[in-house]
Amino acid sequence: MHDISVKWPNGARCAVMLTFDFDAETLWTSRDKANAARPGILSQGTYGAKVGVPKILDTLADAGVKSTFFIPGWTVENHPERCEAVVKAGHEVAHHSYSHRWVSDDPAAEVEEFERGLEAFDKVLGIRPRGYRSPAGEVSSGLFTLLAQHEMLYNSSLMNDVMPYRHRFEDGSKGPVELPWHWSLDDAPYALFSVASPRPMFPNQHLLAIYKDEFRELYRWGGLYNIIFHPQITGRPSRIAMLRELIAFIRTFPNVWFATGTEVAEAWIAAGEPEAA
């Protein structure tokens, strides 16, 4: 057995992060600026705010679980009532850039996106996020210094492990904690669609089979199950049912800890920052 040897809180076997990338319309405008004048394309993002987020919040409340919503600053400014509802429901809100642009090849733009996003959280919600996730996992080498400068506790942008780990700088100083993710636990590759970039949309049972298989083995390893949903995708009716089924499935396993990103990072630090064996 792959022994990760983490002592999760209350004797939990593994940690589960249900995360929601609340991109709204930025998912489309960040890929093609012309989409700002295309109401049909933008309406998918609008659905995420109008219908997806409330339905997801209801589902999480019924299940009694906490989650983390990664939100671009633009979404905070343009859908404040939905972001406030997330906070009121007791979920964590975390940083997800300002406009969801991919800026890994432009460090100056990355700084601008990061700092403008923080300003939106402060101005609209009065919150200083403790975690960050880059759009599509695209980052520059300077991101981690930027995160440290702004005293971010954790990052969730890389795919090189199934356990939290600590970023280290060249001088040996500590950077943020990384909470890794992977495309296989993201709804977008299976269900994101537009006429400009058509792709197959897989049946929900296809998604569930992958999600469940990943969970079974990560549970066996004792690792971190970090899954990504988008309100405009998983907020669709049948996928709300899928989310409900997935939570129920996970709960058939004993000693599972549903937690926010901040809680996972803090628990890993409290456990002595263990590395996988």
Give tens-digit pLDDT for 60-72: 999 999 999 999 9
CA–CA gap between residue 200 and residue 216 (Å, rounded) = 26
Residue 228, pLDDT > 90, answer: yes
- CA 2: distance to chain centroid? 25
Q: What percent of the chain shows pLDDT beyond 90? A: 81
This prediction has a pTM of 0.95
Within a 13 Å sphere around the CA of 165, how many CA atoms are in the beta-carbon half? Answer: 15
Instruction: Write down the domain spans for the chain.
Output: 9-271
Beta-bridge partners for 256: 14
Give the model confidence (pLDDT) of 246-261 as tens digits. 999 999 999 999 999 9
CATH assignment, 9-271? 3.20.20.370
With tokens 């992977």, the residue in question is 182
Q: How confident is the model at residue 1 (pLDDT cuts 50, 70, 90)?
A: very low
CA–CA gap between residue 71 and residue 55 (Å, rounded) = 17
